[in-house]
Structure 1
Amino acid sequence: MATIVENKSLYEEIMQKAKRVGEVAELEAMEADRNATISQRVADIIREEEIHRLILPKEFGYPQLDWRTFVDMISKVGYYNLSASWLTYFFSAHNSWVCYYPKHIRDAVINQGGFVADVFAPIGKVKPVEGGYIVSGKYNFVSGINYCDWVGVGAIMQFEDNDKPERVGILLKVSDLEVVNTWDSLGLRGSGSNTLIVNDVFVKPDAILRFNKIVEKSQPPYEDFDQDYLYYNTPFYPGFYVGFAAMAVGGAERVVEEFEKHTAGRVRFSGVNEKDSPTSQRVLAKLKLELISAKALLTEYITMMETDKSGPYEGAKYKAIRAEIIEKCTQIGIKALLTLGGHSLLKGHPVELFARDLIAIATHITSLYEDGILGYGRHLFGVQTNIQG
């Protein structure tokens, strides 16, 4: 079963938008690396092209993308710059959880037009008070927060209709919080994943998003909703995490092309052209095959999302496929770097930059290879894993 592009002319339009973002981010890659954030210019282009609105419900008047188009858009930006791809993905996908809020909240956030960040690690402290809650916490790794007006943060809460505490998301205005510039990483430096301080901020009960309810049923709790919306028709977590694999594939494709180009122009001290070396020939063949494999797995992942809709699904399988894709892409970056030799270590060499960024993608909690593969193996033997995707 092939994944479907529902509107070919829209697909081409979206690829051009992605190319525009990617090309500018590529030109500014080293500046973003030094500054630990993409520039205002790149953020403005994402906003101008309305990329953060492309997977909203149709009631907001923007073109809904199918999964193939959305994934290829993220991969396209990733081909040029992975930090920009990371934020292109997040600024698009983060509106998805906003769409599970009551209408007055979702309209307020989306119509205001700002970017949305999130960090759902359940570390926040929530204290009930009259009329709502007081929220506090220190959250690290809040990607793109420099350019966001809204943010979702995580906590654990107890509700009367559940005998167990559950993980929640809490919507806050960034203007009510403190952003601390702490991002100094090996890779994805342009993501600007800084620290957020939430200090005794009041929220009303309707700002609390119960993820358990979304997992139970991908459709929202209210009756009048867009039946065609992507996230209402696929398991939520697999759909929310697909961008990590998508950007990795785009970055790996660029690495393979750079490896081939630099190998073709490389001459050893002995005078031998490196493209005539059996070593590099074998490595290029292997890199190409691994990329083909990663792309095929990504297509399988999309097919699963299109098939599973909002019914029962194998969360552990999704996580394992995503981890396998990202592992393959990361190893493409590392193998290319090691085979090209010392000149590819120079700061700003595209393989050096992409290899660092691919490693950073692989360290994300949803990408960890050993976790993903072990979880799927346990699932295959009938062990309850509680992996949601």
Structure 2
Amino acid sequence: MVTVVENKALYEEIIEKAKRIGEAAELEALEADRNSTISPRIAEIIREEEIHRLILPKEFGYPQLDWRTFVDLVSKVGYHNLSAAWLTYFFSAHNSWVCYYPKHIRDEVINQGGFVADVFAPIGKVEPVEGGYTISGKYNFVSGINYCDWVGVGAMMKFEDNDKPERVGILLKVSDLEVVKTWDSLGLRGSGSNTLIVDNVFIKPDAILRFSKIIEKSQPPYEDFDQDYLYYNTPFYPGFYVGFAAMAVGGAERVVEEFEKHTAGRVRFSGVNEKDSPTSQRVLSELKLEMLSAKTLLNEYIKMMETDKGGPYEGAQYKAIRAKIIDKCTQIGVKALLTLGGHALLKGHPVELFTRDLMAIATHITSLYEDGILGYGRHLFGVQTNIQG
């Protein structure tokens, strides 16, 4: 089975959108790095290109993308700027979980048109009150929150049909919350992943999303839903996390090109052109092969999603493949930086910037290499891992 583009004209249009976002963000990369956020201009370009509309059910009137097109969109932005790719991916993918809410909530969020953020670490404290609940909590790493109108936050709750507490997502309006600018990171600085304070905010029961129900069945709980929608036809978590690998591949591809370019123009103190050095020749060969390997694994990941169609699937395998892709891409950055030498270490050098960003992607909880590889190994020996993807 080959991953295919279902609509070539649409694919080309989407890649042009990605290039516009990526190229604009690349011009502002150093500014975003200093300010720990992309600029309002970049956020507005993402909005103008309606990236947050691209993977919605067809009833909303926007083109539905196939997985190949969506992955290449994120990769193309990542080739130019990984912070912008991070937010391009999130601002589109976050509408996917909104589509599992009852129709009146889903329609309110989507028709309002605002960006959606999320941080589903289950740290919120939920208390029952008349007519619903209240929630309080301090959430770190809320990417893109500077430009979002809505946010999903995590908590643990107990329900009558389950004897154990379960993880839930709770939809809130950002205007009801406090955003604290705390983001000062090694990489992905332009993502503006600041801290969110939720202080005794009232929530209605229908604003609570039970992830256990999505795990059981990729389709939403209501009957009248779009049968062709991406996330209703693939295991939810692998589909929700694919963007991490996609952007890493785009960023690593840029690193390889930068390595080749800077090596070709580099002259050692001895007067020898670095491109004639067996060391750099060998490294470039290695980087190209690792890049090919990462892309091949990403293609396999896409094929798996297209095949599984929301039925039973091996979550541990998805996680291991994704972790392997991101690890390969991160090591491409590190290898290129160490081989190019001191001039590539200067602040703002493309390889320095992309390598920091790739390392930041690799630290995300869904990307951790040791966790992914161990989980898959345990799965292969028949150990129950409960890894969802």
| Range of TM-score over shorter length | over 0.9
Counterparts of 2:44 and 2:261, CA distance in 1: 32
Partner of 2:243: 243
Partner of 2:233: 233
List runs of 5+ in structure 1 lacking aligned partners.
none
Partner of 2:54: 54
Counterparts of 1:236 and 1:125, CA distance in 2: 26
Matches within 5 A, 1:328-343: 328-343=328-343
Partner of 2:30: 30
- Give 1:41 shift: 0.3
Partner of 1:300: 300
List runs of 5+ in structure 2 lacking aligned partners.
none
Counterparts of 2:342 and 2:305, CA distance in 1: 42
Matches within 5 A, 1:120-159: 120-159=120-159
User: What are the superposed Cα offsets for residues 70-116 of structure 1, whole Å, 9 maximum, x if unpaired?
Assistant: 00000000000000000000000000000000111000000000000
The answer as to 2:312 corresponding to 1:312 is: yes
Partner of 1:92: 92
Letter in 2 for 1:282: R
Counterparts of 2:6 and 2:153, CA distance in 1: 34
- Give 1:293 shift: 0.3
Letter in 2 for 1:210: R
User: What are the superposed Cα offsets for residues 172-204 of structure 1, whole Å, 9 maximum, x if unpaired?
Assistant: 000000000000000000000000000000010
Counterparts of 2:310 and 2:298, CA distance in 1: 19
Counterparts of 1:351 and 1:310, CA distance in 2: 39
Tell me which stretches of 4 or more aligned residues in structure 1 moved more than 6 Å.
none
Give me the CA root mean square deviation.
0.3
Counterparts of 2:249 and 2:311, CA distance in 1: 28
1:118 counterpart SS class:
strand
Partner of 2:272: 272
- Give 1:4 shift: 1.4
Counterparts of 2:4 and 2:272, CA distance in 1: 46
1:65 counterpart SS class:
coil
Letter in 1 for 2:214: I
Counterparts of 1:153 and 1:267, CA distance in 2: 52
Partner of 2:357: 357
Quote the sequence identity (%).
89
Counterparts of 1:90 and 1:378, CA distance in 2: 30
- Give 1:279 shift: 0.2
Using structure 1 for the length normalisation, give the TM-score: 1.00
Partner of 1:198: 198
Equivalent residues, number = 389
Using structure 2 for the length normalisation, give the TM-score: 1.00
Partner of 2:286: 286
- Give 1:62 shift: 0.2
Letter in 1 for 2:286: K
- Give 1:165 shift: 0.4
Counterparts of 2:33 and 2:128, CA distance in 1: 42
Partner of 1:378: 378
